[in-house]
Amino acid sequence: MTDTAPVIEISGLHKSYGALEVLKGVDLTAPRGHVVALIGSSGSGKSTLLRCANLLEDSQEGEIRFEGEPIAWRGAGPARQPADRAQVTRIRTNLSMVFQQFNLWAHMTILENVMEAPVTVLRRDRAEVETAARGYLDKVGIGDKAGVYPAQLSGGQQQRAAIARALAMEPRALLFDEPTSALDPELEQEVIRVIKALAEEGRTMVIVTHDMSLARDVSDHVIFLHQGRIEEEGPPEALFDRPSSTRLRQFLSATAA
């Protein structure tokens, strides 16, 4: 691993579910301190790419590197899978994922939710983890909700708790899979403010989003996926102000309607 290597580097990635080819040779690079936004229609492969990056899904072809370290594979095609489970666990702990549906444990308080993985997975000192967890809850604006349960929170508050839980792992990168799509517009803005603040801190993030304003405002690089391929990519001002592909122009026109 090197400090200069991208946190995530993917090249030539292919992913199929049976006969359905979802990713058809996709490349992605997330340099340290950069925000990469993935946009595109439903079914274009955005979430699948994110899940492959985090090794939640096995890909059939292509290379994935984490801070310059290649994932070790065994087998080929549909039989391909990671060869080193310890490597997978180590990398996943450094790539914290925030899901669309929050995925909080209903039987635990918000503070317990944030503390659980650092204590049980990373074996960190409980008292130190609690201090850090309270700090992360303050950071996302719900420090006063530490003792309540998920069902007592709004959707926006639950998603902010999920972000605090991801931050508590002190990951090298944050991966967001449609973090605002389950929220109504008012609650959506609560979460967007947190994500923008994290971007301003220089955190490495890959964000799958349907929100073009979010993609434009926080990202250093935007990738437009269409039918499992990269149709167009570049800095946000280029893609949103001067799209070169017909398909991207159609997509942006539809999302603006």
Structure tokens at 122: 């990373």
Q: Which two tokens stand for residue 250?
A: 């159609």
Q: Give residue 3's pLDDT.
A: 65
N residues, the chain: 257
Query: Taking the complete model, does pTM exceed 0.85, yes or no?
Result: yes
**Which stretches of 51-167 are assigned E, i.e. beta strand?**
61-66, 69-70, 73-74, 81-82, 95-98
Are the C-beta atoms of residues 149 and 108 closer than 8 Å to each other? yes
CA 191 – CA 98 distance, rounded (Å): 12
Domain ranges of the chain: 105-170
What DSSP element (H or E) covers 177?
strand 173-177
Name the β-bridge partners of 30: 8
pLDDT score for 21: 96
Q: What is the pLDDT of residue 2?
A: 55
What pLDDT is recorded for position 257? Answer: 61
What whole-number distance in Å separates Cα of residue 209 and Cα of residue 176?
8
- At 20, list the tokens: 């359905």
One digit per residue, the tens of pLDDT, for the chain of length 257 reads 556 899 999 999 999 999 999 999 999 999 999 999 999 999 999 999 999 999 999 999 999 999 999 999 999 999 999 999 999 999 999 999 999 888 999 999 999 999 999 999 999 999 999 999 999 999 999 999 999 999 999 999 999 999 999 999 999 999 999 999 888 888 899 999 999 999 999 999 999 999 999 999 999 999 999 999 999 999 999 999 999 999 999 999 998 76
